[in-house]
Structure 1
Amino acid sequence: MCPPRYFAVDYVINPWMDPSTPVDVDRAMEQWTILRDTYRDLGHTVEEVEPRPGLPDMVFAANSGTVIDGRVLGARFRAPQRAAEAEHFRRWFVEHGYRDLTMPRRINEAEGDFAWTGSVLLAGTGFRTDPEAHAEAQETLGVPVVSLRLTDPRYYHLDTALFVLSEATDTRQAQIAYYPQAFSPGSLRVLRRMFPDAVVAGTADAECFGLNGVSDGRNVILPLEATALADRLAARGYEPVLLDISELRKAGGGPKCCTLEIRK
């Protein structure tokens, strides 16, 4: 995770960003700190990356890389405003002992568009990550990749429209939640075939970034407003934890955007 010390909305690279809307950095820091502390209270280890002036979106650390079995595929951003982040995160991985690290040749916004199910890497495209980056991820990480096309610009990253609830080495045992209207017809058929028992979210939950959740297989971090989704997850035996991420949402981010999951 990366604290939002320099958080701002000074430019527009997704439909949620509006530079004319005031941003409260102190409130963003408070919301981020509660998210970080919640992970720690649930027993997880949180590593922090030092933020850099002039890179207000570094807080969205999910875009810093994809780590599976200790292998790291770095990031390459589409928006020039975020391009410099990739090198700062690369240095963090190197300094923390990650030697099996590859920087991508194609545009790849990491866990923003990559979701690991435990056996298959679901890979989004349509707005940010290049389709060719999916093959690059498969070669680099050595895991099978399934491509999914996003069609609604409000859900510009896969992690705004889908997240993994529980990983499993058998794809049939993994569980996900997703918002159907964010996907192309073909991609939607793939999701229904692969995950017939998925939790399907409604529009209200999608619009508050409810699909930008983080699950450890039991506890599920969600935005405060995602109450209907929380109820559905509770009915499945999960423990929803609702947090206020309203300030961070002004830049088009939520709990998952702030969180890179490191799978050693």
Structure 2
Amino acid sequence: MKRTPQAQPLFLMCEPRHFTVDYEINPWMHTAHPVNRPRAAREFGALVRLYTQLGARVEFIRPRQNLPDMVFTANGAVVRGGTALISNFRYLERRPETALFASWFRAHGFRVKRMPEGTRLEGQGEAFFTNGHMFAGYGFRANRAGHRVLEKTFHLPVVSLRLIDPRFYHLDISFCPLRDGAVLYYPGAYDGASRAKIKRCAARAIPVTRTEALSFVCNSVPMGHVLVTGGVPSAGTRRALRALGYAVRHTPLGEFKKSGGGARCLTLSLNS
């Protein structure tokens, strides 16, 4: 694949053609609450259009029947500098995605790395590059052994954060890196030691409330001077974001929240 200049965000997404809630592997998922697929398609289309209006280029991986969560491409790999570290999923329901993501990355010219047996990591859902290091979550879907693979693959130190609330089963539901090393985060998702690490390692740590976190305000995608979100930031959070130079663009993603995902979950950055 011809490399896109860093100034233009490059995303990998997957159309929700087969998106359903057929099983329950996180507290948001309830098979009794079915997905409205036409509405999901409209929400997804609006997100893609917003990205392209803001200057992003969007690539797509083909959706597969019986893999409804493949729509959450952020979980497929950690990507940096042309290298894709393919995820090792905890749950059996998602493990067939691994070979499909590996195949896509190989076909598009990336160096593909695989996780060793016994290590767990679920892509950019658990790992963010910022300020010369990586923040990485563990506790529900990833383990510390997976963090060691991250360090070895990308040659950057990892700040390991322990998640303690199953509603925030991936790091990206309670943590959002912003410009200049600042982060949005929900303190209640972490143990005390991890909260201290965030405050120490982030250039600025902006806490959000429980209500904001449950609206998935941290599961957002910063793009230049815009923060794309399906969540609902408070007036105080909007002021903090404005002070950093961000305008908030809200786009509804309620159908995807039924499976525990938002804007960031649906979006794998290929040139982070």
TM-score of Structure 1 vs Structure 2, range by shorter chain: over 0.9
Per the alignment, do residues 31 and 115 of structure 1 end up closer, same or farther by CA in structure 2, a change over 3 Å counting? same
- Structure 1 unaligned spans of 5+: 167-172
1:242 aligned partner: 250
Report Cα offsets for 1:55-114 as digits up to 9, x if no partner: 00001000011111111111110010001011111100011111x210111111011111
1:47 to 59, 65, 72: 59
Report Cα offsets for 1:18-45 as digits up to 9, x if no partner: 1001211111111111111111110011
2:114 aligned partner: 103
Whether the 8 Å contact between 1:108 and 1:128 is mirrored in structure 2 is yes
2:183 counterpart of 1:176? yes
Report Cα offsets for 1:231-255 as digits up to 9, x if no partner: 4312432011101000110000000
What's the C-alpha RMSD, in Å, of the aligned pairs? 1.3
Q: Counterparts of 1:1-264 in structure 2 under 5 Å?
A: 1-98=13-110, 100-105=111-116, 106-166=119-179, 173-195=180-202, 197-228=204-235, 229-263=237-271
Per the alignment, do residues 112 and 224 of structure 1 end up closer, same or farther by CA in structure 2, a change over 3 Å counting? closer
In 2: Cα distance, 1:233 partner to 1:123 partner: 23
TM score, norm. by length of structure 1: 0.94
Shift of residue 118 of structure 1? 4.4
Match for 2:105: what amino acid? Answer: F
In 2: Cα distance, 1:215 partner to 1:221 partner: 6
Report Cα offsets for 1:203-228 as digits up to 9, x if no partner: 11100111101102421011153344
Q: Which has the higher strand share?
A: 2
In 1: Cα distance, 2:148 partner to 2:92 partner: 23
In 2: Cα distance, 1:47 partner to 1:234 partner: 30
Report Cα offsets for 1:149-198 as digits up to 9, x if no partner: 001111000000001112xxxxxx41111001101100001111112522
Query: What secondary structure does 1:35 align onto?
Result: helix
TM score, norm. by length of structure 2: 0.91
- Structure 2 unaligned spans of 5+: 1-12
2:8 aligned partner: none
Per the alignment, do residues 63 and 224 of structure 1 end up closer, same or farther by CA in structure 2, a change over 3 Å counting? closer
Match for 1:102: what amino acid? Answer: K
1:170 aligned partner: none
In 2: Cα distance, 1:116 partner to 1:25 partner: 33
Match for 1:53: what amino acid? Answer: Q
Whether the 8 Å contact between 2:182 and 2:203 is mirrored in structure 1 is no
Query: What secondary structure does 1:12 align onto?
Result: coil
In 2: Cα distance, 1:133 partner to 1:87 partner: 18
Match for 2:114: what amino acid? Answer: M
Match for 1:69: what amino acid? Answer: G
In 2: Cα distance, 1:37 partner to 1:227 partner: 25
In 2: Cα distance, 1:101 partner to 1:242 partner: 34
